[in-house]
Structure 1
Amino acid sequence: MSEAPHGAPIKTPGQLIAAIIASFAVPIVIIVLLVIYVDNSTRTGAGTDSLSDAEVSARIKPFAQVDIRDANAPRVYKTGEEVYKAVCSACHASGAAGAPKFTNTADWAPRIAQGFDTLLHTALTGKGAMPARGGTSPDDYSDFEIARAVAYMANNSGASFPEPAQPAAGAAAAASGATAAAPAGASDAGAAQAAAAMAAMASVPQAAAPAAGGAQSADASQAGKALYQQVCQACHAAGVLNAPKFGDKDAWAPRLKEPMDTVYNYALHGKGAMPPKGGSTASDADVKAAVDYMVSAAK
């Protein structure tokens, strides 16, 4: 019994032509579909988003930025923690350059023992590798904000200093040397006193400085009293701008706990809103005599 003959799949010229066309068309269609699939898939390679709106905006962003502030708007003071993180943490977080390390009670103990005023004075004037105000300017951070940062670091390292008192309205501008003038209809007595005190300091006659080669006043007590009446009483008579009031034992008590050399240093080089030598050009000896005069009245 014989088997049936096997027939070829292509029997006609038309079938041959169709097979040839299909052998070319099918691979081409597959390739096109693969290209479309790859092109539409998510691309995460480097540089694939360089033309996105965000990337283009970042590249053409100007370097300089103008920060417009309302000079008459109430100042919002930064907290001690904010100032610490922005300025002080650069050294105090790690204890670099001999800075007492944040929260390290052993590092801070001898400094805390000196008192808050001494710590604040060191922060404002600088010490060792630490620049004055941590390298900032009064326009960046006020004395009050620096004081907050000092209290924050010290209190997190074993101290229990009270929160520094916030300056009265208008006092910050006056302390920075701005012209102090009480606004029309102002009812804030503290701001008015501060303005008057700063105006008085601005009008201090510069003739208080002794002439070159002149001898120091023979009566130091009288020289101190005269300088107090001419310069110091602008703030100390009424106790404005946080100045210890003349004759007020309670106000002077914390200051007198410190060595007199420290008290003299504050008067000579300034502290808080008080400018060096009260804004005068008096001699160091006369300034110390004025300090002695005020201290004697507070004992």
Structure 2
Amino acid sequence: MSESQMNDSTFSRLFIIMILAMTALTILLVVLASFASSDVNARLDEQYELENTQSVAERIAPVGTFSADSVSAPIAVATAPKTAEQVYASCAACHDSGTLEAPIVGDVAGWAPRIAKGIETLYNNAINGINNMPAKGGNGALSDDEVKAAVDYMVSKSK
């Protein structure tokens, strides 16, 4: 065997040994990094959960609190009575179109039999409801006097 052939075979063996050593070193480093990062990942997950829980708690926390000690007496809110025309605005949804068999304001023939029963009957029906019409036309915030004023308004337009 010549010297150049021996150097080539020695080089080849050394080259293969170096490749195997580097591969083994790489695998060792990957395994060590995996062990090291598993602890870091667990701590990062715990931190994320903690921050996420605090963030959600802050977003859904009440903006204020109520204490019964801070309230001495109920505050009465005074509202001006509505005019008949203002009250009729909520009645108009049905009484302008005849929805649910409501008599149309201005239809003398449609209102005549109702007017014949008397104004007190009309008031009672409007306040308590009748057939398809709910009490106070579905607007429970109206006073009885406001409903009566609206009835008077519709009757005056339908005679």
**How big is each residue's C-alpha offset from its partner over 1:16-38, in whole Å with a ceiling of 9 and x where there is no partner?**
xxxxxxxxxxxxxxxxxxxxxxx
Q: TM-score, normalised by structure 2?
A: 0.51
User: 1:52-63 counterparts in 2 under 5 A?
Assistant: none
Letter matched to residue 122 of structure 1: N
* Number of the residue aligned with 1:125: 128
Higher percent of residues as helix = 2
* Number of the residue aligned with 1:141: 142
Q: TM-score, normalised by structure 1?
A: 0.28
> Which among 94, 99, 110 is matched to residue 96 of structure 1?
99
Q: Which has the higher contact order (CA 8 A, sep 6+)?
A: 2
Letter matched to residue 83 of structure 2: T
How far off its partner does 1:97 sit?
1.1
Letter matched to residue 127 of structure 1: I
Gaps of 5+ in 1: 1-69, 159-299
* Number of the residue aligned with 1:156: 157
**1:156 & 1:90 partners in 2: Cα distance?**
16
CA RMSD of aligned residues (A): 1.3
Letter matched to residue 95 of structure 2: H
Letter matched to residue 153 of structure 2: Y
* Count of residue pairs the alignment pairs up: 85
**1:125 & 1:72 partners in 2: Cα distance?**
25
User: 1:93-242 counterparts in 2 under 5 A?
Assistant: 93-137=96-140, 140-158=141-159
**How big is each residue's C-alpha offset from its partner over 1:96-150, in whole Å with a ceiling of 9 and x where there is no partner?**
111100111010001111111100000011111111111111xx11000000000
2:87 is equivalent to residue 83 of structure 1 = yes
**2:77 & 2:133 partners in 1: Cα distance?**
33
2:148 is paired with a residue whose SS is helix
Q: What fraction of aligned residue pairs are identical, expressed as a percent?
A: 47
**2:88 & 2:101 partners in 1: Cα distance?**
17
